[in-house]
Amino acid sequence: MAGNENYLLAVDVGLHTGLALFSEDAALLWYRSHHLSSPAKLKKVIAKLLREKPRPTHLLLEGGGPLTDLWLSEANKLAISSRQIHAQQWRDKLFYARQHRSGSQAKREADGLARQVIEQLGSKNPTGLRHDTAEAILIGLYGLLQLGWLETWPKKGINR
């Protein structure tokens, strides 16, 4: 993994921010969430995350508004390729329509699929998994497919 030069940071944007970092060989390096009390604190976390090693070369954000603008601004300063998407884009790609008819159903499905991604692409088994972190993992899966870093999903017969 140390030889990789490209990394994707997937973000479920908010003051409750879900994060997942993937390498170019489609390995899930880490996933976590940050719960911040203000946009100013989020701005500091963004600056740190986009500079720490391994440094993301690609940033995929789900969300909009001023908090997304903080991410885009910092990524622009660092010449990180960034893209903003909406939840419906990755949900339509990764789920059947019947799997995300309501918000609560979509969150349950996201948790299940995120655990499968962790099992196949990650190195440690999930314990507690917050919905923002699960969604960041799936935003990252969508990004891997879009970038061509992962050719297909599922990998071992996981139902999509």
b/e burial code for range 24-41 (CB count within 10 A of at least 16 → b): bebbbbebebbebeeeee
> What percentage of residues in the chain have a pLDDT greater than 70?
88
- Average per-residue pLDDT for the chain: 87
- At 126 the three-state DSSP class reads coil
pLDDT tens string 91-150: 888 877 777 666 677 777 888 889 989 999 987 776 678 889 999 999 999 999 999 999
Q: Residue 73 falls within a domain, yes or no?
A: yes
Q: Which of 95, 85, 89 is nearest to 8 (CA)?
A: 85
d(CA 117, CA 138): 8
CB 93 within 8 A of CB 153: no
Q: Residue 158 falls within a domain, yes or no?
A: no
Q: Would you state the pLDDT for residue 83?
A: 96
Q: Residue 52 falls within a domain, yes or no?
A: yes
Specify which residues 59 forms β-bridges with: 9, 82
Q: Residue 159 falls within a domain, yes or no?
A: no
Q: How confident is the model at residue 155 (pLDDT cuts 50, 70, 90)?
A: low
Please provide residue 45's backbone torsions phi and psi, each rounded to the nearest 5 degrees. Answer: -65, -40
> How much is the pTM?
0.89
Q: Residue 157 falls within a domain, yes or no?
A: no
CB 138 within 8 A of CB 11: no
Q: Would you state the pLDDT for residue 91?
A: 83
Q: What is the CATH number of the domain that holds 33?
A: 3.30.420.10
pLDDT tens string 86-100: 988 888 888 777 776
Q: Residue 50 falls within a domain, yes or no?
A: yes
Pairing of strands 16-23, 58-62: unpaired
Q: Residue 153 falls within a domain, yes or no?
A: no
CB 139 within 8 A of CB 84: no
Domain extent, residue 27, equals 7-147
CB 124 within 8 A of CB 100: no
- Total number of domains constituting the chain: 1
